[in-house]
Amino acid sequence: MTALLHAEGLSKQFAKDDVAIVALRNFSLTIEEGSFVSVLGRSGCGKSTMLNLLAGLTQPTKGEVLYRDRKLSGPDIEIGYLTQSDTLMPWRDVLRNVELPLEVRGVPAKERRRVATELVERVGLNGFEKHYPRELSGGMRRRASLARMLAGAPETLLMDEPFGALDAQLRTELQEELLRLWQGTGQTVVFVTHDIEEALLLGDRVVVLGGLGRIVLDRPIGLARPRSVDELRVDPEFVSLHGELAAALKEGSR
């Protein structure tokens, strides 16, 4: 596997009056093509800052992000980003929201409609194409956001606690759905979460972050796929990994 996304010595600080708040300090990470990497960390450890930098939304104060050995100077259409909060356009219905990335790219209307309809169906939203985001439940809005991101056909997906605001039941459903959508596509995923179970269920590799983006633990996860939450919970390997990650998180917060 080759390195697809590479962060080198990233630092990010936000200036406010006479002080700068440091969110990330000297952070380096390499993501291999086609892998599913879970990034685990407690709130405030710089996870979102890191993703914003990897997505090219913000520029690092120091260091650089390389995507396919090119320096990333702004958002790239090959990189899809599913943010923590919903950013569906409230004045567009589900279908037109999913069409948006294609619209920006100048795809003809007919083709747009076809791709969007298919994606809406794939995320299980058929029947709700004409609904506005406010008329949908939180879970359905997440599905719509997912469909919109996939409409851009990115080869890399960045996800920032995408299911954080959902109830446990729905979360499990969407996690398994994500795995189903991802498997066999060859897409690379960086999945940020604060939930150990989620990190283990999804990732090929788990990176545990401490304060300011310090990497506490970086290890591959050998659990067999397809994985299911209910079976994993009693798997001895899963239980020991869970303990290891919990300890790493604790160490990271010191």
Residues forming contacts to another protein in the complex (CB under 8 A) are: 55, 57, 74-77, 79-81, 83, 85, 87, 89-91, 100-101, 103-105, 124-128, 132, 134-137, 139-140, 152, 170, 173, 176-177, 180, 228
Contact 188, 18 (CB under 8 A): no
Which is closer to another protein, CB of 40 or CB of 136? 136
Q: How far is the CB of 249 from another protein (least distance, A)?
A: 28
Q: Which is nearer to another protein, 57 or 215 (CB)?
A: 57
In whole angstroms, the minimum distance from the beta carbon of 11 to another protein comes to 21
Cα–Cα distances in angstroms (integers) from residue 151 to residues 65, 120, 154, 173, in the given order:
25, 10, 8, 21
Contact 186, 34 (CB under 8 A): yes
Name which of 132 and 205 has its Cβ closer to another protein. Answer: 132
Return the number of the residue (153 or 217) whose C-beta is nearest another protein: 153
Element containing residue 2 per DSSP (H, E): none
Min dist CB 90 to another protein, Å, is 5
Least CB distance from residue 18 to another protein, whole Å?
Answer: 21
Task: Identify the sign of the CA torsion 40, 62, 49, 178.
Answer: negative
